[in-house]
Amino acid sequence: MQIVSLRTTSLLTALIVAGGATNAAAIPLNPFRYEAQAQRHCPNDVVVWLDFSRGVYYLKRQKRYARGASGSFVCREEARASRYRRSLFGVR
Protein backbone atom coordinates (compact mmCIF):
# COMPACT_ATOMS: atom_id res chain seq x y z
CA MET A 1 0.00 0.00 0.00
CA GLN A 2 2.79 2.46 0.83
CA ILE A 3 4.64 1.67 -2.43
CA VAL A 4 1.60 2.64 -4.51
CA SER A 5 1.15 5.82 -2.49
CA LEU A 6 4.83 6.70 -2.87
CA ARG A 7 4.71 6.11 -6.63
CA THR A 8 1.59 8.24 -6.98
CA THR A 9 3.14 11.06 -4.97
CA SER A 10 6.33 10.91 -7.02
CA LEU A 11 4.39 10.97 -10.28
CA LEU A 12 2.30 13.94 -9.19
CA THR A 13 5.39 15.84 -8.06
CA ALA A 14 7.11 15.19 -11.40
CA LEU A 15 4.07 16.41 -13.34
CA ILE A 16 3.82 19.60 -11.29
CA VAL A 17 7.50 20.37 -11.75
CA ALA A 18 7.34 19.65 -15.49
CA GLY A 19 4.24 21.84 -15.90
CA GLY A 20 5.82 24.74 -14.05
CA ALA A 21 8.99 24.58 -16.14
CA THR A 22 7.19 25.74 -19.29
CA ASN A 23 6.14 29.04 -17.70
CA ALA A 24 9.66 29.85 -16.53
CA ALA A 25 10.82 30.48 -20.10
CA ALA A 26 8.32 33.29 -20.76
CA ILE A 27 9.74 36.72 -21.53
CA PRO A 28 8.49 39.31 -19.05
CA LEU A 29 6.44 42.16 -20.46
CA ASN A 30 7.80 45.59 -19.49
CA PRO A 31 5.20 48.30 -20.14
CA PHE A 32 6.34 51.94 -20.24
CA ARG A 33 4.44 55.18 -20.01
CA TYR A 34 6.57 57.01 -22.56
CA GLU A 35 7.80 55.89 -25.97
CA ALA A 36 11.37 57.03 -25.29
CA GLN A 37 11.56 54.83 -22.18
CA ALA A 38 10.54 51.79 -24.17
CA GLN A 39 13.03 52.60 -26.93
CA ARG A 40 15.85 52.81 -24.38
CA HIS A 41 14.78 49.45 -22.97
CA CYS A 42 14.88 47.75 -26.39
CA PRO A 43 17.14 49.76 -28.73
CA ASN A 44 17.24 46.99 -31.37
CA ASP A 45 13.48 46.39 -31.46
CA VAL A 46 10.40 48.28 -32.62
CA VAL A 47 8.30 50.05 -29.98
CA VAL A 48 4.56 49.35 -30.22
CA TRP A 49 1.46 50.53 -28.38
CA LEU A 50 -0.10 47.64 -26.49
CA ASP A 51 -3.83 47.83 -25.82
CA PHE A 52 -4.35 45.56 -22.82
CA SER A 53 -8.15 45.52 -23.01
CA ARG A 54 -8.22 44.38 -26.66
CA GLY A 55 -5.16 42.14 -26.50
CA VAL A 56 -3.52 43.70 -29.56
CA TYR A 57 -0.62 46.00 -30.34
CA TYR A 58 -0.41 48.86 -32.82
CA LEU A 59 2.52 50.01 -34.91
CA LYS A 60 3.50 53.66 -35.10
CA ARG A 61 1.85 54.15 -38.52
CA GLN A 62 -1.56 53.00 -37.25
CA LYS A 63 -4.33 55.37 -36.15
CA ARG A 64 -4.70 53.96 -32.64
CA TYR A 65 -1.00 54.13 -31.79
CA ALA A 66 -0.55 55.83 -28.40
CA ARG A 67 -4.32 56.21 -27.95
CA GLY A 68 -6.46 54.90 -25.14
CA ALA A 69 -6.23 54.72 -21.38
CA SER A 70 -5.64 50.98 -21.12
CA GLY A 71 -2.37 50.78 -23.01
CA SER A 72 1.39 51.18 -22.73
CA PHE A 73 4.48 51.28 -24.88
CA VAL A 74 6.31 47.94 -25.09
CA CYS A 75 8.88 46.20 -27.27
CA ARG A 76 7.31 44.28 -30.15
CA GLU A 77 9.17 41.03 -29.41
CA GLU A 78 8.01 41.10 -25.77
CA ALA A 79 4.43 41.65 -26.93
CA ARG A 80 4.68 38.73 -29.35
CA ALA A 81 6.24 36.48 -26.73
CA SER A 82 3.37 37.34 -24.38
CA ARG A 83 0.94 36.23 -27.11
CA TYR A 84 -0.44 39.64 -28.03
CA ARG A 85 -1.30 39.94 -31.71
CA ARG A 86 -0.80 42.73 -34.20
CA SER A 87 -3.85 44.79 -35.05
CA LEU A 88 -4.72 45.13 -38.71
CA PHE A 89 -7.13 47.98 -37.99
CA GLY A 90 -6.03 51.41 -39.09
CA VAL A 91 -3.09 50.46 -41.29
CA ARG A 92 -2.29 53.32 -43.63
> What are the residues facing 58 on neighbouring strands?
49
**Domain region containing 38:** 27-86
Phi-psi region of 34 (alpha: psi -120 to 50; beta: other; left: phi over 0): beta
Q: How many domains does the chain have?
A: 1
Stated pTM of the model:
0.68
Q: 33-61: b or e for each residue (b if 16 or more CB lie within 10 Å)?
A: eeeeebeeebeeeebbbbbeebebbbbee
Picking from 46, 44, 50, 59, the residue whose alpha carbon sits closest to that of residue 89 is: 59
Q: Which tens digit of pLDDT belongs to each residue from 23-60?
A: 445 568 999 999 999 999 999 999 999 999 999 999 99
In-domain check, residue 12: no
